[in-house]
């Protein structure tokens, strides 16, 4: 089994862990991980890391995400989406597309957002969703998020249903964003569908379904090399002797490395093999290993 990343289009009704469990059976390997958990009702991009690539799950450089989210005006639920219990209903017939469009600029850029009770945020050692399931609601501190792009794709004036396109930073709760947008012009809303179309540098057009994976005998064509997610880093290539030393954990002298690029953090290659990331310590004059991704 090769090491790398398989971008999966997560199906509705599956947890992110369900996808990993299914893929362990398909790929016949246990060493799998994922980045960016998706709720069961959500679909879309879920990068699954295979083999030594699992070391990158928590250090991905690109944490920005993009979503397409459907919503309906007129009701609010305890979870913020249609899987929850309706907690409020309101006649929203007076609100139009114009109201939504006028509200969007207020939620673009850096904003503060209060995480929902039905979330994995930990407060006092307890996950918020654990408290919510017991009927307990506690005060939550607002968190800074950034919404890079917020567009109304469509809106049905009769049914009061619409769809948004959102590009945002890590930690953004789309269902809360929809509730807040509606509240800003006096309405209530709930999210009815969510699809993550971009995550960790992958687009949904690159994703493979679990059904497609199940039908494959050779997975090499769908595994993306781990170095792709570090392609933004300056590249340094070691010679054969330096590669051996690097793999043995020896700090290399920067003065002995040819064509050393500028930059503190580097992507390190031994010939064509991606070895990992390293720090160029200019004060000590050494190349210090940060994270290895090669097979030992």
The pair of structure tokens assigned to 282 is 């200019």
What positions carry a catalytic annotation? 39
Determine the straight-line distance between the first and last CA of the chain, rounded to whole angstroms. Answer: 15
Residue 118 burial (CB count, 10 A):
23
**CA–CA dist 62, 52 (Å, integer):** 19
Residue 178 burial (CB count, 10 A):
26
Residue 24 burial (CB count, 10 A):
13
Are 43 and 81 a contacting pair, CB within 8 Å? Answer: no
Q: Under DSSP, is residue 16 helix (H, G, I), strand (E, B) or coil? A: helix
Are 169 and 146 a contacting pair, CB within 8 Å? Answer: yes
**CA–CA dist 242, 127 (Å, integer):** 47
Torsion, Cα of 160, 163, 168, 171 (10° steps) = 60
Q: Under DSSP, is residue 80 helix (H, G, I), strand (E, B) or coil? A: coil
Tokens 């969510």 label which residue?
194
Spatial neighbors of 238 by CB under 8 A, at least 6 apart, are 246, 252, 257, 268, 269, 270, 271, 275
Half-sphere exposure of residue 216: CA atoms within 13 angstroms, side-chain side: 17
């Amino acid at each position: 089994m090769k090491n790398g990343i398989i971008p999966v289009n997560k199906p509705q009704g599956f947890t992110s862990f369900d996808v990993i469990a299914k893929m362990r059976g398909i790929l016949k390997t246990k060493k799998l991980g994922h980045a960016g958990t998706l709720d069961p009702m959500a679909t879309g991009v879920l990068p699954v890391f295979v083999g030594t690539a699992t070391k990158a799950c928590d250090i991905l450089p690109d944490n920005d995400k993009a979503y397409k989210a459907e919503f309906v005006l007129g009701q609010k639920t305890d979870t913020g989406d249609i899987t929850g219990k309706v907690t409020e209903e309101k006649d929203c017939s007076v609100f139009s597309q114009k109201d939504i469009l006028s509200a969007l600029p207020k939620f673009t850029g850096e904003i503060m957002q209060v995480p929902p009770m039905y979330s994995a945020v930990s407060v006092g050692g307890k996950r918020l969703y654990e408290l919510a399931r017991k009927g307990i609601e506690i005060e939550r501190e607002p968190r800074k998020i950034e919404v890079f792009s917020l567009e109304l794709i469509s809106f049905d004036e009769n049914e009061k249903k619409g769809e948004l396109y959102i590009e945002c930073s890590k930690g953004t709760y789309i269902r809360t964003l929809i509730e807040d947008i509606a509240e800003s012009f006096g309405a209530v809303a709930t999210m009815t569908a969510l699809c993550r179309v971009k995550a960790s540098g992958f687009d949904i057009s690159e994703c493979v379904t679990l059904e497609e994976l199940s039908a494959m005998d050779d997975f090499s064509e769908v595994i993306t090399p781990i170095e792709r997610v570090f392609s933004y880093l300056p590249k340094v290539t070691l010679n054969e002797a330096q590669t051996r030393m690097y793999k043995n954990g020896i700090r290399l002298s920067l003065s002995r490395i040819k064509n050393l690029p500028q930059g503190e953090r580097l992507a390190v290659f031994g010939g064509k093999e991606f070895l990992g990331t390293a720090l160029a310590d200019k004060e000590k004059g050494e190349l210090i290993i940060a994270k290895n991704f090669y097979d030992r």
